Chain A
Amino acid sequence: ELKVEQNPLFLSMQEGKNYTIYCNYSTTSDRLYWYRQDPGKSLESLFVLLSNGAVKQEGRLMASLDTKARLSTLHITAAVHDLSATYFCAVQETSGSRLTFGEGTQLTVNP
């Protein structure tokens, strides 16, 4: 059974700082997704990573995928308060299979 682990689960950081959220998964996959969820809201798609070495950037967020290490990272650069949310990674083992989510990382950016 595919397991997806994120760390840290809780992250409190100051504005202007950099940090990385890690997503490890247990079986072969080349499809990884990052989502953002604000309190009481739906999941907003951030990145779709579909191959080894894929790197995508949007604003202060950059995501990468290393399929050999079974690891994805979400890097935050110069954090701002608006980035406060819960971030989920999700892995699809093979085409047509279920999307397995990590536990989520609750990020709080303090002024």
Chain B
Amino acid sequence: DTAVSQTPKYLVTQMGNDKSIKCEQNLGHDTMYWYKQDSKKFLKIMFSYNNKELIINETVPNRFSPKSPDKAHLNLHINSLELGDSAVYFCASSQDLAGFYGYTFGSGTRLTVV
């Protein structure tokens, strides 16, 4: 019974295309996140939502748009994909913004833009 699930696991697409990654958590957590891990394994936050409300919006191109239809789901839509968008995208959740109990990460979506 997966706690934080992302789809798809792998995504290969051409430059200029638009794609979405979906994330769902069944932990009852209030807060969800998107992180990007680059080729050097460096992890950086992109967005966070708390109860469907956008809390953190890092310096991310406008081509990236998150959407949280409810607190169990956080999707990421990317327009006009570029080569530099190739990375692994991780969804995560925490019980609340405080993070006392830590963060649970999904299995990641490996995006390759060709």
Contact = CB atoms under 8 A, between A and B. Distances in A.
Interface residues of B, number: 26
B90 A42 contact: yes
Contacts of A25: none
Interface stretch (B13-21, B78-86, B92-100): B92-100
B90 A101 contact: no
Interface stretch (A57-65, A76-84, A88-96): A88-96
Q: Which 8 A-B pairs have the closest CB atoms?
A: A96-B97, A101-B43, A43-B105, A95-B98, A48-B102, A98-B45, A42-B107, A45-B102
A69 interface: no
25 contacts: A31-B99, A33-B99, A33-B102, A35-B105, A37-B41, A41-B108, A42-B90, A42-B108, A43-B43, A43-B92, A43-B105, A45-B102, A45-B103, A48-B100, A50-B100, A86-B41, A95-B97, A95-B99, A96-B55, A96-B97, A98-B58, A99-B33, A99-B99, A99-B103, A101-B44
A103 interface: yes
A37 B41 CA distance: 10
A96 B105 contact: no
Interface residues on A, range: 20 to 34
Looking at chain A's contact residues, the main secondary structure is strand
B112 interface: no
A97 B56 CA distance: 8
- The CB with the most chain B CB atoms within 10 A, among A35, A92, A99, A100, is that of A99
B99 A104 contact: no
